[in-house]
Amino acid sequence: MANPLGAAPGIIIGVGVGTAAAAAIEPAVELPKQTAWTQNKVRVLDPAVMARLVASGGIDLGTAQDDAAREGFDTDKVNALVYLAQTVPGFANAVAAYNRKTILEPDFAHTLVKSSLDQRYYAAMEDLANTWLTPAQVALGIVRGTIPDPGILPVTLDTTGNIKGYPVFTENTALQEAAGGGIDLERLTVMVGAIGLPMSTQQAANAAFRGILTRGDFNRSILEGDVRPEWADAIFEQARQYPSAHDYVEDHLRGWTTQPEMYAGTAKHGMSQADTDILFRINGRPLSFHQTFIGLARGGVYDGPTAGIAPAFLKSLQESNIRPEWYNLAWAQRYTYPTAFVLKALSTAGDLTQPETEQILLYEGWEPTLAATVSAKWAGGTGTTATQKKQTLSHIMGEYLSGALTVAQVTTMLTGLGYTAQQATDEINLAEFNATKAVRTKATTAIGKRFIALQLTQAEATADLAALGWPQGAIDKYIAGWNAERDDEGTTLTQAQVVKAYKKGTLDQPSALARLTVLGSSAADAAILLADA
């Protein structure tokens, strides 16, 4: 009987040899094994690997299902393995896509499912997709009134007005929204105080000076701002208002303060005494060159003494912007002297001597040689001729009508020329009458020109003449004469003036059409011009 072990030597070897012997014979077995697999390529991939290949696009689902069937896996199990192998966006990317609406809520929920998250946390995770305001934004919204204040701000203002308010956040309360960032009421209060700013320190100081705020309120503006407290006193004093450097200079220039006080005032603005002197010289003015000449002629002295100046006069100089060195010259020309025509009358009448007349002419700025010649001529005259008397009378009345002389002064001068008191009165009345007559005549001529030029209606011209004091008979004569001139079609009027007169009513339509025709317009064009008026 044959040996059974010999019938199955491979089995005998596989069973009988030890580990060392198996390792020794493995190379001898490997080559036949490789040859067998090469000739029989029927081995399939692990189903889990095939599921990953399907998920990553390496093979299609049908192939994976067919191969897995050889390993004993049915279709549902292969599909389950593929589902397991598929990945979804991470939570951060899923939130971003959901907020951009590139995935909808079911797909976002699916990413949570695929993350193997416990279902108890789905709602909380889905809520994290809603981005809330940061606590800093909440604090700023409270300050600016876009989020209802939960009672943090110390003052609530009435904002009723014409300007429409910005929409107010209502989705959550300020405390709920801040809590989303981990901030409670106490911490939110700190943030509101840090974000909301007080008025500027300069404004707060000015308000304190005006009595609107107290010094304590100003100190609060320092503490609630970005300035350290040690600077508060300096800021408060720096904000105090002082007159400008220019004001301090003007104050001294006008005699209200001393020079040291002026220097002290400009020093508050950082100005040196030398610079202050420059400003003083620039702001203080001299007398005009003619005033200077007259002042010198009358005995004034540049930078002369001021002790003899009347206090009120000196005060008026000080409160002007004239510098002190010009005061003496201004005081020297305080008097007004008669005009040349009055001087002539007084000199020829013997009321003034030649030297007195010459000196007065010099006081008035006459050239010295001319003053001597004229005063000698007046003093050496043998009497006033009729022509001289008439010329002198004319000049005196001119001075009177200009307001330079009073009635009493004119009467005295005319008496000196040989007129009686009654004659002097008559001359004054005649001058006034002639002046009034000349004015009325000139005004009447102007009214006539405007009436003839169709700028006034007859009623307007009549009212203007009556206002000048013309009697009705004279008014009728003027109107009749002017109407005769106005009715003359040859009167020079432009086309625009004719249309304007028609529009105003000073020219009727037939007359206007006739004048436009004379000026070269056709009847049709003339009618259009008047219609447009």
User: What is the per-residue pLDDT across 379-420, written as a single tens digit (0 to 9) for each?
Assistant: 875 555 666 677 778 878 888 877 778 888 888 888 777 788
> Is 80 exceeded by the pLDDT of residue 219?
yes
Residue 169, pLDDT above cutoff 70: yes
What was the pLDDT predicted at 39? Answer: 63
Q: Tell me if 506 sits within 8 A of 497, measured CB to CB.
A: no
pLDDT of residue 23 exceeding 80: no
pLDDT at 2: 43
Average pLDDT of 79-87? Answer: 84
Radius of gyration from C-alpha coordinates of the chain:
58
pLDDT band for 24, please (50, 70, 90 cuts).
low
Task: For residue 71, give the nearest of 89, 51, 55 by alpha carbon.
Answer: 51
Tell me: pLDDT of 274 over 80. Answer: yes
Confidence class for position 47, pLDDT limits 50, 70, 90: confident
Q: Which of 14-28, 326-340, 448-462 has the highest mean pLDDT?
A: 326-340
pLDDT over threshold 50, residue 253 = yes
In this prediction, what percent of the chain has a pLDDT beyond 70?
A: 90
Residue 491: the pLDDT is 56
Distance CA 137, CA 122 (A): 28
Angle between helices 259-267 and 273-283 (to 10 degrees): 110
Task: Locate 275 and state its tokens.
Answer: 């610079």
- Map 402-469 to HEC letters: CCCCCHHHHHHHHHHCCCCHHHHHHHHHHHHHHHHHHHHHHHHHHHHHHHHCCCCCHHHHHHHHHHCC
pLDDT band at 233 (very low <50, low <70, confident <90, very high): very high
pLDDT range class, residue 272, cuts 50, 70, 90: very high
Higher-confidence residue: 28 or 87?
87
Q: Tell me the average pLDDT across 104-131.
A: 80
**Residue 328: pLDDT above 90?**
yes
Percent above pLDDT 90 for the chain: 21
pLDDT grade, residue 527 (50/70/90)?
confident
- At 464-517, the pLDDT tens digits run 888 887 888 888 888 888 888 776 644 567 778 788 877 877 777 887 787 777
Structure tokens at 92: 């951060």
**Is 441 a residue whose pLDDT tops 90?**
no
Q: How far apart are the first and last CA of the chain?
A: 152
Given this model, what pLDDT does residue 8 score?
41
Q: Which residue has the higher pLDDT, 121 or 326?
A: 326
Tell which residue, 237, 264, 238, has the closest CA to residue 251.
264
Instruction: Please give the mean pLDDT across all residues of the chain.
Output: 82
Q: Which residues of 505-533 are buried (b: 16+ CB within 10 A; e: fewer)?
A: ebbeeebbbbbbeeeebeeeebeebbeee
pLDDT of 228 over the 80 cut: yes
Token couple for 159: 């904002």
Alpha carbon 29 to its chain's center: 102
Considering only the C-alpha atoms of the chain, give the largest distance between any 2 of them, rounded to a whole number of Å.
Answer: 202
CA dist., res. 238 & res. 205, Å (int): 9
Does the pTM exceed 0.85? no
Give dist(CA 307, CA 300) in Å, integer: 13
CA angle 174, 176, 180 (to 5 degrees): 110
Given a cut of 80, whether residue 292 has pLDDT beyond it is yes
Angle of the 75-85 helix axis to the 47-55 helix axis, nearest 10: 60
pLDDT at 41: 59
118-132, 206-220, 257-271, 328-342: segment of lowest average pLDDT: 118-132
Cα distances (Å, whole numbers) of residue 230 to 102, 140, 197, 233? 57, 28, 19, 7
Least confident of 193-207, 281-295, 433-447: 433-447
Per-residue burial over 12-41, b = 16 or more CB atoms within 10 Å of its CB, e = otherwise: eeeeeeeeeeeeeeeeeeeeeeeeeeeeee
For 241-251, what is each residue's pLDDT tens digit? 889 998 998 88
Q: pLDDT category, 204, cuts 50, 70, 90?
A: very high
Please calculate the CA angle 499-505-508 and round it to the nearest 5 degrees.
75
**Using a CB cutoff of 8 Å and minimum separation of 24, what contacts does 490-494 make?**
491/452, 493/453, 493/454, 493/519, 494/519
- Within 128-258, where are the H helices? 135-144, 174-179, 185-195, 201-209, 215-223, 232-238, 245-253
Q: What is the pLDDT of residue 37?
A: 61
Distance CA 431, CA 342 (A): 17
What sign has the CA pseudo-torsion 133, 135, 141, 146? Answer: positive
Query: What pLDDT shows up at residue 12?
Result: 39
